[in-house]
Chains A and B, each alone.
Chain A
Amino acid sequence: MQITLKVWRQADANSTGNFVSYKVDNITEDMSFFEVLDMLNDTLVCNGDDPIAFDHDCREGICGTCGVFMDGRAHGPLRGVTSCQVHMRSFTDGQEIVLEPWRATGFPIIKDLVVDRSSFDRIMESGGYVSVSTGGTVDANALPIAKTDADEAFDAAACIGCGACVATCKNSSAMLFVGAKVSQYALLPQGQPEAKERVLNMVATMDNEGFGNCTNTGACEVECPKEISLEHIARMNREFLKSSLG
């Protein structure tokens, strides 16, 4: 296969960026998309050019490090997968693919396709935990939790913090990310003692970090590589309302 990659190049946070096109040959269908980027970067290095910076690490869809816009879609053409899991069999010979970084006020660009998502850590710092210190806990089975609640909490906890929800949202809203964490703890007895402060603080931090509001478009749910449901945003809204009034 041959592919043309039209890539956003930006030297650093303060530079202006632009698109540069690269032709890549000798691609096979079973290569991953990032292996094509590796191959292109090898050529760039050999030619004395600056290779394309992109975030990636586990390359098996779980660490949440990677995230590029491929042809206007967060994490590419498939549902329920991260960028690193996209393989070339999803594209056709001769295709041009446009690559862009996540674009959001809350995610400033560091270089090329690499963005700074430390805002997510700051949101988590404001309430994404249960205040339990090491030691002195009761036996794990002393706290039975209905399987349905545990399973739903797991569905929320599966969020990998990649930021696709923000990047794909027209408002750059982080509601799915925050909703997933609030929801996980709201469904579990361990989360109850701090439920009120948690949702209020996390939402406040989210607003301060420059993320927009949710207008129920649902694009986040579609593009989420872990298919986190919009229901978690609804649950967060209920928690927020309850905590604001109570």
Chain B
Amino acid sequence: MNSNTPGGPLAEKWTKHKFNLNLVNPANKRKYNIIVVGTGLAGASAAASFAELGYNVQAFSYHESPRRAHSIAAQGGINAAKNYPNDGDSVHRLFYDTIKGGDYRAREANVYRLAEISNNIIDQCVAQGVPFAREYGGLLDNRSFGGAQVSRTFYARGQTGQQLLLGAYSALIRQMGKGTVQFHPRHEMLDLVLVDGEAKGIITRNLVTGEINRHAANAVVLATGGYGNVFYLSTNAMASNVTAAWRAHRRGAYFANPCFTQIHPTCIPVSSDHQSKLTLMSESLRNDGRVWVPKKKGDNRNPANIPDEDRDYYLERLYPSFGNLVPRDVASRRAKDMCDKGHGVGETRLAVYLDFADAINRLGRNAVSAKYGNLFDMYQQITGENPYETPMRIYPAVHYTMGGLWVDYNLMSNVPGLFVLGEANFSDHGANRLGASALMQGLADGYFVIPQTIGNYLSKKLNETISTDDSAFESTENDVMARVDKILSINGSRTVDDIHKELGKLLWENVGMSRNKSGLELAIKKIPELRDQFWNNVRIPGSNESLNPELEKAGRLADFLELGETMARDALSREESCGGHFREEHQTKENEAQRDDENYRYVTAWEYQNGNVPVHHKEELNFENVSLTTRSYK
């Protein structure tokens, strides 16, 4: 596996690489067609930037509008190395924090490029009219975020994702108005078409009419988000799924580090069996909120009646230098630990307190409300409790997936012509993503990386004509139709959600926050049984030829049922703990993750084997600019 990482000093790699890339002549750009699947932050910014350069773009989304993408739900902020607050930040420090936060399981060169580009993103978004938070002098405000000791996070109240997505959407819609991007709403990609081994098109289903269509292009770009919904309950939107990426995987694209999933520490706890999704409360809350549990197990007192000496502010106790601002994986695992030991609070005992009483005393209720008002309202809306008066109850939940399709430095997968951006690829976050860096990566990939690197591939394809009449399109379309027909013909007795919940529970218990050999082996044994249940006993009403949400969900679940097993295999093969991947067999005396750099300093990339055990490939990670230390937040 060749990552195509350029040589030379770290800080010069990207500049040098850009110079070495082949260019497409401006007059020739209009001869190329590019397909972009997914129009969230990464997809919308890429599609808009391609069109600005002169390429013809076809963009696809299963949503009705690009503005509905789940990027919109990101709350806290976006990192950049501007060093506006003069607190010692730099490109190198952002790079260092990100690579360390990812527990040294990401490529140095990719992460450095991300840090380098971060500043351009802020400039770009401000130019678009994105209303970031400002200080009274009129300049941009920054705040700190988990895993960092500088204030480098730009934000727009608790709705940063919304404002950045609407910025990218505005850039995209400007091109849609000009006709340089043709947008296909409510179209779901159901397969990737390979012509002579290269990605040259996709097959889609029109979700309103059921029509199956072929689309051809010179290159295909996937920006289809993460796979957190494999767990059924997650903070992802209901429709978020792995299908586009998984279909590409089945056609030969390697899937990297699928077991690297992020469990976010500050979510509203599960309240009942009917729960359909989990809601995240921004990590920014940990800037002012203090996490605690009662010292006494099973202490049933109202939190207001538990005096300070009976409270255990365990993050402050265990990690005096980072305190409540330790990275997400650490905070999540500690919360689970406290609950497992019997200190959990609330009815289910699967929650810890996040308390703002001190912040309200120190800053006043108005100042706290100005910072977190919308989050407090959201909490109250869901739980019926007022967080100004009683501490929030929080518990970790699946939030983000660091794994994804393997890509090289150019963001191209091992399938030539197939590029993967944003959360859908595996590239920049290693084994754990730091807060406020998902928005950064999505926009870096879309605005600044792919517009440069795609030209290098396309330049070799001048005058290439791809026709949807090619036999590859016909056979792939037949595969898609056969699969839809098969799903509709089963007519069993279990609903899609019923099977999905069972899969989610199995994964949460065995491939979740904490993993061990026997649990993973159990998952590997049980998931194929559940897959059989699906293919023999699922019940889908209606037909293909109309809006049929159950049919959509079924296709997505079928892919989750394959992914889940590969996640378990990945977790089993990685005999170490790192970032979000915690193997109980590999921990220190203080229950911290124990990495094994000698044997596992690599990216795992799985090659699909037609339903048989996938083949395990390795990309060694070389660290020339940072020394691999044990992450310490003490």
Q: Interface of A with B (CB < 8 Å)?
A: 11-12, 28-32, 34-35, 38-39, 42, 44-46, 48-51, 53, 55-65, 80-81, 85, 87, 89, 110-111, 114, 116-118, 120-121, 124-126, 128-135, 137-141, 143-147, 150-151, 153-154, 157-158, 160-161, 184-185, 188, 190-191
The interface centre, meaning the residue of B124, B126, B183, B185 with most chain A CB atoms within 10 A of its CB, is B126
Residues in A with CB closer than 8 Å to B208 are 110
Residues A144 and B381 in contact, CB atoms below 8 Å apart: no
Residues A58 and B550 in contact, CB atoms below 8 Å apart: no
Contact with A along B473-495 (1 / 0, CB 8 A): 00000000000000000000101
The interface centre, meaning the residue of A34, A126, A147 with most chain B CB atoms within 10 A of its CB, is A147
Contact of B277 among A53, A59, A117 (CB under 8 A): A59
Is the CB of B275 closer than 8 A to any CB of chain A? yes
User: What are 14 residue pairs bridging A and B, where the CB atoms are less than 8 Å apart in the complex?
Assistant: A32-B382, A38-B497, A45-B539, A45-B541, A57-B68, A57-B238, A59-B237, A124-B170, A139-B123, A145-B134, A147-B134, A153-B129, A157-B163, A188-B129
Residues in A with CB closer than 8 Å to B271 are 30
Given contacts A57-B68, A58-B70, contact A129 B171 (CB under 8 A): yes
Contact of A31 among B156, B166, B272, B539 (CB under 8 A): B272
Residues A65 and B382 in contact, CB atoms below 8 Å apart: no
Within 335-359 of B, Cβ neighbours of A (below 8 Å) are at none
Given A63-B237, A89-B384, list of 20 further CB < 8 A pairs?
A12-B547, A35-B275, A53-B547, A59-B279, A65-B64, A65-B68, A85-B382, A121-B65, A121-B183, A124-B173, A125-B177, A130-B129, A132-B128, A133-B171, A143-B126, A144-B138, A151-B131, A154-B156, A157-B131, A184-B129
Residues B139 and A59 in contact, CB atoms below 8 Å apart: no
Q: Smallest CB-CB separation from A61: which chain B residue?
A: B378
Residues B447 and A154 in contact, CB atoms below 8 Å apart: no
Contact with A along B547-562 (1 / 0, CB 8 A): 1011000000000000
The interface centre, meaning the residue of B70, B133, B173 with most chain A CB atoms within 10 A of its CB, is B173
What is the bound-complex CA distance between A158 and B161, given in angstroms?
11
Residues in A with CB closer than 8 Å to B549 are 51, 53
- The segment out of B45-53, B214-222, B601-609, B611-619 that lies at the interface is B45-53
Residues in B with CB closer than 8 Å to A116 are 64
What is the bound-complex CA distance between A146 and B157, given in angstroms?
16
Residues B384 and A81 in contact, CB atoms below 8 Å apart: no
Residues B384 and A125 in contact, CB atoms below 8 Å apart: no
Residues in B with CB closer than 8 Å to A150 are 131-134, 138
Is the CB of B368 closer than 8 A to any CB of chain A? no
Residues in B with CB closer than 8 Å to A129 are 128, 170-171, 173-174
How many residues on the B side are at the interface (Cβ–Cβ under 8 A)?
A: 85
Q: Smallest CB-CB separation from A58: which chain B residue?
A: B237
Contact with A along B119-144 (1 / 0, CB 8 A): 01011111111111111111110000
The interface centre, meaning the residue of A80, A89, A143 with most chain B CB atoms within 10 A of its CB, is A143
Residues A35 and B68 in contact, CB atoms below 8 Å apart: no
Residues in B with CB closer than 8 Å to A118 are 64-65, 185
Given contacts A31-B274, A116-B64, contact A46 B539 (CB under 8 A): yes
Residues B279 and A60 in contact, CB atoms below 8 Å apart: yes
10 nearest A-B pairs in the assembled complex, by CB-CB distance: A144-B138, A125-B177, A129-B170, A137-B127, A154-B131, A140-B126, A133-B52, A129-B174, A57-B237, A190-B129
Q: Smallest CB-CB separation from B370: which chain A residue?
A: A151
Is the CB of B542 closer than 8 A to any CB of chain A? yes
Question: Closest CB of chain A to B611's CB: distance in Å?
Answer: 28
Q: Smallest CB-CB separation from B174: which chain A residue?
A: A129
What is the bound-complex CA distance between A62 and B377, given in angstroms?
13
What is the bound-complex CA distance between A12 and B69, given in angstroms?
25
Within 249-271 of B, Cβ neighbours of A (below 8 Å) are at 271
The interface centre, meaning the residue of A64, A65, A87, A116 with most chain B CB atoms within 10 A of its CB, is A65
What is the bound-complex CA distance between A111 and B162, given in angstroms?
28
Q: Smallest CB-CB separation from B71: which chain A residue?
A: A63
Residues in B with CB closer than 8 Å to A160 are 162
What is the bound-complex CA distance between A42 and B540, given in angstroms?
11
Residues B276 and A34 in contact, CB atoms below 8 Å apart: yes
Residues in A with CB closer than 8 Å to B378 are 60-61, 85
What is the bound-complex CA distance between A245 and B272, given in angstroms?
59
Given contacts A89-B384, A161-B65, contact A137 B124 (CB under 8 A): yes
What is the bound-complex CA distance between A138 and B134, given in angstroms?
17
Is the CB of B84 closer than 8 A to any CB of chain A? yes
Residues in B with CB closer than 8 Å to A134 are 45, 48-49, 52, 124, 171, 447-448, 451
Residues in A with CB closer than 8 Å to B69 are 63
Given contacts A129-B170, A134-B124, A138-B127, contact A147 B550 (CB under 8 A): no
Within 149-172 of B, Cβ neighbours of A (below 8 Å) are at 156-157, 159, 161-163, 166, 169-171
Contact with A along B40-83 (1 / 0, CB 8 A): 00000100110010000000000111111110110000000010
Residues A63 and B73 in contact, CB atoms below 8 Å apart: yes
The interface centre, meaning the residue of A49, A87, A125 with most chain B CB atoms within 10 A of its CB, is A125
What is the bound-complex CA distance between A71 and B277, given in angstroms?
25
Q: Smallest CB-CB separation from B547: which chain A residue?
A: A111
Residues A157 and B166 in contact, CB atoms below 8 Å apart: yes
Residues in A with CB closer than 8 Å to B128 are 129-130, 132, 190
Residues in B with CB closer than 8 Å to A110 are 208, 547
Q: Smallest CB-CB separation from A38: which chain B residue?
A: B276
Residues in B with CB closer than 8 Å to A132 are 124, 127-128, 171
Is the CB of B466 closer than 8 A to any CB of chain A? no
The interface centre, meaning the residue of B124, B280, B448 with most chain A CB atoms within 10 A of its CB, is B124
Given contacts A38-B276, A85-B382, contact A121 B497 (CB under 8 A): no
What is the bound-complex CA distance between A116 and B277, given in angstroms?
25
Residues in B with CB closer than 8 Å to A32 are 276, 382
Residues B272 and A62 in contact, CB atoms below 8 Å apart: no
Residues A117 and B64 in contact, CB atoms below 8 Å apart: yes
Residues in A with CB closer than 8 Å to B497 are 38, 42
What is the bound-complex CA distance between A124 and B173, given in angstroms?
7
Contact with A along B516-548 (1 / 0, CB 8 A): 000000000000000000000001111000110
Residues in B with CB closer than 8 Å to A139 are 123
What is the bound-complex CA distance between A62 and B238, given in angstroms?
13
Contact with A along B229-248 (1 / 0, CB 8 A): 00000000111000000000
What is the bound-complex CA distance between A30 and B382, given in angstroms?
8
Question: Closest CB of chain B to A22's CB: distance in Å?
Answer: 15
Residues in A with CB closer than 8 Å to B377 are 80
